Amino acid sequence: MPKITYIEHGGTEHVVDVAEGLTVMEGAVKNMIPGIEADCGGACACSTCHVYVDPEWVDRLPAKEMMEEDMLDFAYEPQENSRLTCQLKVTADLDGLVVRMPEKQI
């Protein structure tokens, strides 16, 4: 099972096993990781699962689709490495992924 590291804004790390086929957002919710609110439940209709992807992982992820790009406009302080975790499907290739939560979700 792939291990994903979620880092809270304050620096607290949570390393959890996330089953393949789930999204990175679902992995956070199922493991009660603070900082990912997931208000829309994964429908890409909000930005409350926004994270900053560790730089070494940015180019290893699938490209953002237009809907995700549009929703990131509503995220708190989006950056080039911003992603919505509801749009990142967990596969064996994501073993070791590191994501950081923003200061807040909006």
Buried-exposed string 12-47: b where 16+ CB fall within 10 A, e elsewhere: eebebebeeebbbbbbbbeeebebbbbebebebebb
For 25-83, the pLDDT digits (tens) are 999 999 999 999 999 999 999 999 999 999 999 999 999 999 999 999 999 999 999 99
Domains of the chain: 3-100 (3.10.20.30)
Nearest to 27 by CA among 10, 49, 46: 49
Q: What angle do CA 65, 55, 104 make, to 5 degrees?
A: 75
**pLDDT the model gives residue 63:** 96
Rounded distance between C-alpha atoms, residue 18 and residue 24, angstroms = 8
- Evaluate if pTM is beyond 0.85: yes
